[in-house]
Chains A and B, each alone.
Chain A
Amino acid sequence: MALDTADYRRREESITYTAEPAGQGETHELLTLNIGPHHPATHGVLRLLATLEGEVVRDIKPIIGYVHTGIEKTAEQKSYWKVIPVIERMDYLSYYFNAMAFCGAVETLLDVEVPPRGQYLRIIHLELNRIMSHLVWLGTSALDLGAISMFWYCFREREKILDLFEMSSGQRMHTRYFQVGGVMEDIPPAFAAKVRAFTKEMPGRADQYADLLEKNQIVFERLHGVCPLDEASLLRLGVTGPLLRATGNPWDLRKAAPYSSYDHFEFKVPVGTVGDNYDRYRVRHAEIYESVKIINQALDGLPEGPFITTDRKIALPPRHELATSMEALIHHFKLVTEGFRVPPGEAYYPIEGPRGELGCFVRADGSGKPARVHMRDPSFVNLQALSPMVRGSYLADLIATLAMLDPILGGIDR
């Protein structure tokens, strides 16, 4: 079944669009242009084979795999809590979401309950991560469009969020903060105050970004009415997240199938109308405000109690118990050396990531290591929508659409 390289070349470059006569009966030549994998657009190593007729894109074939890391195979070699740092590095802008999906799947298999404080802390960090992911998206997308100064403003806010992450877990990125059963440790005393200070000023900053971009004629013309795709096509393609919400479909897993206490909070789901680039931009921008609301509500209602499950067979006992209790010592030893075992079964745990439905499939075979971990990454499925979106638009619109698609190649290639 192995196809040889010549066949690959033929398939990659095959022009699926036949040029029809244009203008005075003359046909234009079709040019196959290779964009990437190294290209000025800051969206990772995505390679696009664009078939152009003049400046108009007739077909796009994305070629991926340039940052394939074998994460899923590596995850099969590690015990469950060691998989968390590996799986976090998949979609590298939404690392808390990757960890949440995996921990949720393992918690379903173990039938373990996450205590309410753990759930609220998870939500706070998840929403901060969502804001951070949208900020990086906004900064780099504006950079692609030419509004270069947005990059510095967005990264200034991002630094504040990373300071908060560093305060709670010690690491800026890939924090390993979510563990199976809850979170790694409790937040420090000043964390809530610092988060409130951040959420107080974030809506004002988001307003400033809107002022900078939305009343600008160039941004308007580059985004408005450009590359729309209707809802039915997106649903058939399996696209979820802000791309689907931009067409008017309010599908959001935080509302439809709430997990981890999301139903305790009041927030709205921004939707668009037409599904063009402008709607995609506005939906993501509006989600920043909703995330701020969720964080404030979570801080207001943060319950007391344990932050990780008290089942000692799954979560490490607190250190002060090791001095007094023999069972705690044994549990600690077993967990650190061998890890916990998960009874055989399969679980698929979907959550709402910043780019769409992020799901984790875990198959356990009774041992201390997972038998299969698969992450259903939203960008992987969303990338299939790029080709129908950009047919018939200009090359510059392709760049803008790619920016509004928000692909993260780490998640696509895994």
Chain B
Amino acid sequence: MVVHRGEYMGGPAPLISRRSLLRRGGAAFAGLASLNLLAACGDDNPSSSTQGASTSAPAKLAGSVVFLNYPAWIGSESIKPFETQHPDVQIKEDTTALVESVAGTAVKVAQNPSAYDFLLADVPIQKQLDEGGFVYKLDFARIPNIEKVNQRFRDAYPLGVPTDFGKIGFGYRKDIVKERPTSWEELWAIAPSYSRKITALNIDRDILGAALKLKGFSVNTVDDAELEAAKQAVLELKPHLEAFKSVEVAKGLVSGQTAIAITGDYDIALMQSQEPKIEWVSPEEGMPAYLEGWTAVSKTEEIDIFYEFADFAISPEQYAKAIEATGSSWVQDDIVGLLPKALSSSDVIGTSDLDKVEFLDYIGADGTKKVARVWNEIVSA
């Protein structure tokens, strides 16, 4: 039912994919909706950012912070060692909101900014929260290890500490697909030959992003004509898709039931560990990619703890442990030597195809509505 990460990642137990969890909110929808409805009755005004509230670290840290994170995701493994170093600090990890929904995360923080100190957020959520005044403007001088993060990620994630990213390309079975596609265009062309043996991720911006790249447009466009072109492209592909899947998108590649899977690099890397005949493709036209990291909430009163924790968790040794546990694509080039060979030599995850990546950005409220509508039109057709 959920994607599990492979043993090669070295984790003591299989971990749940954060992307799969994102789309698992179906059963919890009714509860989520009612809870959010009630919560939304509050009239908290978003405060303006409190940048530069503190300029020097205290000699001894004390206090507690609430960290909104995916279950067992980057940062989780750093909590205990950090608390050991700082006995008077407590980091409470809240994993409930992020498994519910994308909008749910932003709503939860926006409606109750005092409840959280920092959260894992992708670029669109971070920027949306920032527009509402919910993001703390960081003093990066307080996080010396930020210098270890590749500048490309720092530029794309300007208001927080980037932790990981994921590319949306496709994987195929080499023994089934003889054409060896290397681009979106070739994938679209051969799709009729593998009708109903192709799966795609059920995330609107990811799949529309792939179609936009196919057509030569930005993944962040909100132009009607460009979105329409992308929609038509997805509609062209849809009859040949077995399904838009929220979980286990690439699982069928292992059994051979699926010939091609349009999904994230993390998913293909996991399946490759079980079936070496799976080939990953970073399409020539480019790929949409998500980038996420830690964003401090404007109302936090424990920014010193955040600075210290973030710096500790992205120190190369600690960060390498996180990548080893999660199998995610990393944002620090220098940790490659610290990773197990299965990860460091992978041609799927990592930063090798960064030049083909365009990060999904915040497209505004109207843009979000527009994309959701286009997606509904695709599903409905």
Are the chains A and B members of one assembly? no
